[in-house]
Amino acid sequence: MTGWVMMSLGGLLLAFLAYQLVMTNVWTARSQQAAETELAEHLQAAAVQVEVAETILLPSAPPVEDDPTLPQSSTPTSPTQSKPISVVHYLEPAPEEGAAFGRIKIPVIDLDKVIFEGVDRATLKKGPGHMPWTPLPGQPGNAVISGHRTTYGAPFFKLDEVSVGDQIIVETALGRHVYEVREVLIVRATDVWVTDPKRGAWLTLTTCNPRYSARERLIVQAELVDGPNLLYAEAEKDLGAAGAS
């Protein structure tokens, strides 16, 4: 009797796993297909709302330490030789929670998926989700996108095959943003520092690691190398580095 019970439980478990690995992928595929129309409508509407701003970037000043052993100069000196510069900054409207707003492509792993705003359970079932408290892709700072690695379409199933130097392309209402992978690392699930702000324009991808487990996180960090805000991002990064030197 016990053997039959164990076999029945085993059968139920296998059926559940089959549902998780197969049926959720079917559901997500349908969601992605439906999102194509939603994305086209969003890009058309958001394109006319894109703002172009002239921004003045100021260098970051390093801390000044008093040293009584050094002679005091009567001529004031600047902590950095960098000067404020004016650059153009392109902005797009923030998408609504759960809405499709862009597309992510990683040629080396044949990835091409619609991106949604948000990382709640319902949103990630549809595809990769952007963390709303981080900048949008293509903007200065650290834009973060999360995605499933096994169930619900498993958009980041092969993310471990991405290497330093590979390209990641994100398309939004602003245009095409090309990133180059700078680092691939595995961290603890509690290491939220990977989402911290960064100088320049960065894209961080996060997913569970290893496959079929949520014990760790696989992180891919890439830097913007082409796109509408490239000059702005480079100027901000250079001024920050000059101020820290």
Tens of pLDDT, residues 46-74: 988 999 887 777 665 554 444 444 444 44
Indicate whether 207 pLDDT > 70: yes
225 has a pLDDT exceeding 70? yes
Cα distance between residue 159 and residue 217, in whole Å: 11
Taking residues 166-177, what's their average pLDDT?
98
Confidence band of 242 (pLDDT split at 50, 70, 90): low
- The pLDDT value given to residue 6: 55
**Whole-number pLDDT of residue 14:** 52
pLDDT at 245 over 60: no
The predicted pLDDT at position 122 comes to: 95
Mean pLDDT of the chain: 84
User: What confidence tens digit (pLDDT) does each residue in 79-98 have?
Assistant: 445 577 788 899 999 999 99
Mean pLDDT over residues 153-172, rounded? Answer: 97
Domain ranges of the chain: 27-50+89-236
Domain over 27-50+89-236 is classified CATH 3.40.50.300: no
Maximal C-alpha separation, the chain: 96
Rounded distance between C-alpha atoms, residue 83 and residue 8, angstroms: 73
Q: What is the DSSP string of 97-108?
A: TT-EEEEEEEGG
The strand pair at 100-106 and 85-91 is best described as unpaired
Which whole number is the average pLDDT over 210-239?
A: 93
CA–CA separation, 200 vs 193, rounded Å?
A: 17
Show the DSSP H helices in 19-98 as ranges: 24-47
d(CA 228, CA 88): 9
The pTM score is 0.80
Structure tokens at 140: 């200065």
Higher-pLDDT residue of 93, 7 = 93
The pLDDT confidence band at residue 163, using thresholds 50, 70 and 90, is: very high
**Token code pair at residue 161:** 């095959």
The pair of structure tokens assigned to 43 is 């890009």
